[in-house]
Amino acid sequence: MNRFLRWLGIAVLVFIAAPLVIVIPMSFSEARSLQFPPPGYWLGYYTAYFTDPNWLRPTWNSILIASATTVLTMALVVPATFALVRHRFRGKGIADLMMLMPLAVPHIVMAVGYYSYFGSFGIVHTHLGVILAHSCLSVPIAFLVLSANLKGFDRTLERAALSLGASPTKTFIHVTLPILRPGLIISALFAFVQSFDETVVAIFISGRGAETLPRKMFDSIRQEADPVIAVISTLLFLAVILGVTAPLLISRIRSRRTRIAAT
C-alpha cells in the first residue's frame, strides 16, 4: 500500500512536470513546427528569437508593461494595505471585498469590460491601457501577500522605535519598511509575474501597438506553431527557476558567513 502510494505520488509529479520539461528538448529541435520527439537538434531557433524584432518587440513590451504595472500596483497596495489592516473605519468590509473582487471575476469578463470601457477613453491598444488593466488584476494578489505580512508584524517594534526618539516617519523608514522588505519584494514579484503572464486581457486590448509576449506566442501558435515558442518557454522556465533558487542560495551563503563571523 505504502509502495503504491509512493508510485502514485511520483506519477502525479511526472504528470505535472511533463509539460514543463517537454518544451526544453523541443526548443533545440530542428523541426519546422512544434513536434515531439524532435527529429534532430540545433540552436537555430534561439538565434531566431534573439534576432527577430517581431519577437524582441513583444518581449520589451512585456517587460515594460510588467515593470510599470508593478510600480503602479505597489503605489496603490502599500497604503491600502496599511489602511485596511491597521485601521477600523466605516465601509472597511466593502473596501476589503472590492480589493479582492478581480480575483473572483473571470478574466474574460474583465477583458470585455476593459475593451469597451477603455475604448471610450481611446486607450485600447496602448501601453497605458494594458498597464491599467494589469494593475487591476495585480492589486488583489499583491494585497493578499502584503496584508498577510503586515498582520504578522509586531507593533511593539514601532512603539519601541518611537520611545527611542524616532519620529513616526523615521520609524517607518528605519523599522517598519526594512522588516516588511521580504513581504514587499514577494508582493511586487507576484504583481510582476501576474502581468508578465497575463494573456486573456492582453489579447483583447494590447493590439499591435502594445503587443505582449504571451499574446504574440498565442498568435504564433495559432498561425504557424513556430518552435521559437518552445525557446521562449524554456527561457522563462529558466528565469523562474533562477528567481526561486537565487534568494535561497543568497540567504544560505549569508547565514554561513555570519556563522563564520560569529565563531
Partner 1 sequence: MSSYLQLSGISKVYGQFTALEGVDLDIGKGEFVTFLGPSGSGKTTTLMIIAGFESATSGTVEVAGKSLFGLAPHERNIGIVFQNYGLFPHKTAAQNVYFPLQMRGMKKTAGLRKAEEMLDLVGLEGFGHRYPKELSGGQQQRVALARALVFEPSLLLLDEPLGALDKNLREQMQIEIKRIQRALGVTTIFVTHDQSEAMSMSDRIVVFEKGRVQQVATPLEIYHEPETKFVAGFIGESNLIEAKVTDAEKGEASNAALGAIEYAPTGKTSTGKDVTLMIRPEHIRLSRKPVDGRKNVTMKVETIVNYGDNALVIGKVGDLPMRVRVLGADVVIIQEDEECFISWTRENVYLIAK
232 by Cβ neighbours in 10 Å (0-12 / 13-18 / 19+) ranks as buried
Closest distance between partner 1 and the C-beta of residue 182, in Å?
10
Closest distance between partner 1 and the C-beta of residue 252, in Å?
16
Provide the binding-site residues for partner 1, judged by CB under 8 A.
154, 156-157, 159-168, 170-171, 174-175, 178-179, 258, 261-262
Of 58, 63, 60, 73, the C-alpha closest to 191 is 73
Closest distance between partner 1 and the C-beta of residue 115, in Å?
46
**Dist. CA 27–CA 219, nearest whole Å:** 18
Q: Rank residues 12 and 160 by Cβ distance to partner 1 and give the closer one.
A: 160
**Long-range contacts made by residues 147-151, C-beta under 8 angstroms, separation at least 24?**
147/81, 147/84, 147/85, 148/183, 149/180, 149/182, 149/183, 149/184, 149/187, 150/81, 150/82, 150/85, 150/86, 150/180, 150/183, 151/85
Closest distance between partner 1 and the C-beta of residue 84, in Å?
23
User: Dihedral sign, CA of 117, 122, 125, 129?
Assistant: negative
Q: Rank residues 86 and 159 by Cβ distance to partner 1 and give the closer one.
A: 159
Residues 6+ apart with CB under 8 A from 154: none
Closest distance between partner 1 and the C-beta of residue 158, in Å?
9
Q: Rank residues 46 and 153 by Cβ distance to partner 1 and give the closer one.
A: 153
Q: Rank residues 92 and 159 by Cβ distance to partner 1 and give the closer one.
A: 159
Q: Rank residues 104 and 262 by Cβ distance to partner 1 and give the closer one.
A: 262
Quick count: other Cβ atoms within 10 Å of Cβ 25?
A: 14
Of 63, 81, 111, the C-alpha closest to 210 is 63
Closest distance between partner 1 and the C-beta of residue 160, in Å?
3
Closest distance between partner 1 and the C-beta of residue 161, in Å?
7
Q: Rank residues 124 and 146 by Cβ distance to partner 1 and give the closer one.
A: 146
Lookup: cell for 146:
502584503
φ, ψ dihedrals at 90, nearest 5°: -65, 135
Q: Rank residues 95 and 157 by Cβ distance to partner 1 and give the closer one.
A: 157
